[in-house]
Chain A
């Protein structure tokens, strides 16, 4: 049951989007988010949406995967839409019933807000769908490496992140086992009030934490035995290198940003 959790799920593939340097993708995501927040009109939204659709098609990401990713955010999206719908005043009054007033500007803001959130989520998913977690941590380490000069432990943070990612499936499996073991001894996780159910989690969490610490200890010894001594003098199996397609991608990103800014200038 817990195995269905998808964290940073990655769809392996060999498309152009997959082959881009992860640093390029990370930077492009930032450009995309900036463009999305600068967009104000139908035209600029259409431009950003065209970019999103283009990348999705190029990366051969099934449309279903995108909508599935949106599902957990549904409540948040609806809430934002309602808030904007009822609290924005301006334009013509469309509905006036009891204490509710809906103005035309409210409809517009709510619509754009929902569109923006959905596009933001989709864009982020696109990154995790087409980039393996290892490549992502690698990219983060490389992009943030200038911070090492001011003693930010960039390598250590990246190492922690990749180990955390590595142990997620292992710990999920372990949680499943502990749940089964506790159920076999008559533990009840499904009935009772929320407080009772939260309390029922304690016999799962305690052994899980104990075993996680034990694992961490063993892993540290195993890493030492394989000559790990921090990030100094470390080389990599796969060295990130920008290629021609990365330049092209940056140009497309720049064009997107420029387009949105120009449209904004003209008040469109």
Chain B
């Protein structure tokens, strides 16, 4: 697999403004994201996850080092639209990213900006709405929809650009559990069925469990990086960084401390139950 996004010695400092001092966020960060992968980025508040995400589609430009997207340098202003078309971005608050007051008009916004001919816009809008399962709502007013539905509209709005990668910055933070489930299953489907690279920034460990790769950020650096099993079994490291672990890992970790011989990499409730059952059997 080739890499779609590559950060090379990336440094970024928020410039000083007024009485606020300049705020360095990262220094010499190196990272590669493979095409077609599903990566979750987790970390405590203020660790730089959102700032990092904004570098992937040139909303922020590095103050040092380079970010390459599909071989294009994000600092190259000529290539700005091309980069933003490849890397779609979905934000936390669905209300603040929906532009039009009819669902289909909103989904059409990006292709309209790109100058796509009208018949093709229609096609792309219908396709994007069908993928996120909101086709029946195409003529509705967005403010009458639920949070999860609005966020799916926002995803469709990005899909209509036909991007290679979608970056989601805490897309479920403002949603109820049902809306969260809707959004996560939609993006998982996008990755598995459409082959779109997904970068999910999240606070919820359960959402990170479904990813291929988990990157844990801490104080502007990468604390650990690997498959969910590898990452979440480092319970002590994560706790020291102020992070939770999935409930299954938490349970296994407590049992281990109580003297049980259990693996830490059983992430789904089923695996966890099996591991405990096996341990109990061998104990008898």
Q: Which A residues have a C-beta under 8 Å from some C-beta of B?
A: 132-134, 162-163, 165-166, 169-170, 173, 215, 218-219, 221-229, 233-239
Contact = CB atoms under 8 A, between A and B. Distances in A.
A209 to B, nearest CB: 15
Given A163-B99, A165-B101, A227-B110, A235 B84 contact: no
Contacts of A134: 100-102, 105
Given A163-B99, A173-B143, A237 B108 contact: yes
A105 to B, nearest CB: 49
B101 A133 contact: yes
Given A235-B112, A237-B122, A218 B96 contact: yes
Most buried by A among B81, B105, B141, B161: B105
A140 to B, nearest CB: 16
A169 B143 contact: yes
B252 to A, nearest CB: 40
Most buried by B among A132, A170, A235: A235
Contacts of B98: 166
Contacts of B2: none
Given A134-B105, A226-B157, A233-B115, 10 more contacts: A162-B100, A170-B143, A215-B95, A226-B99, A226-B161, A228-B113, A234-B115, A235-B112, A237-B111, A237-B121
Interface stretch (B40-48, B66-74, B85-93, B231-239): B85-93
B251 interface: no
B94 to A, nearest CB: 10
A218 B97 contact: yes
B109 interface: yes
Contact of A237 (B81, B93, B104): B104
B105 A218 contact: no
Interface residues of B, number: 39
B105 A226 contact: no
Nearest to A138: B105
Contacts, number: 94
Contacts of A221: 59, 91
A237 B125 contact: yes
B95 A170 contact: yes
Contacts of B100: 134, 162, 166
Contact of B118 (A218, A225, A227, A235): A235
23 contacts: A132-B102, A134-B100, A163-B99, A166-B99, A166-B101, A215-B96, A218-B93, A218-B97, A221-B91, A222-B89, A224-B59, A225-B158, A226-B88, A226-B110, A227-B81, A227-B84, A227-B110, A229-B81, A235-B121, A237-B104, A237-B112, A237-B122, A238-B118
A233 B282 CA distance: 70
A10 to B, nearest CB: 10
B99 A219 contact: yes
Most buried by B among A133, A233, A237: A237
B249 interface: no
B114 interface: yes
A133 B108 CA distance: 17
B57 interface: yes
A169 B140 CA distance: 14
A228 to B, nearest CB: 5
A133 B112 CA distance: 19
A89 B213 CA distance: 88
B116 interface: yes
B134 to A, nearest CB: 16
Contacts of B121: 235-237
A234 B112 contact: yes
Nearest to A132: B102
A238 B57 CA distance: 28
Contacts of A165: 101
B112 A225 contact: no
Most buried by A among B84, B96, B97, B114: B96
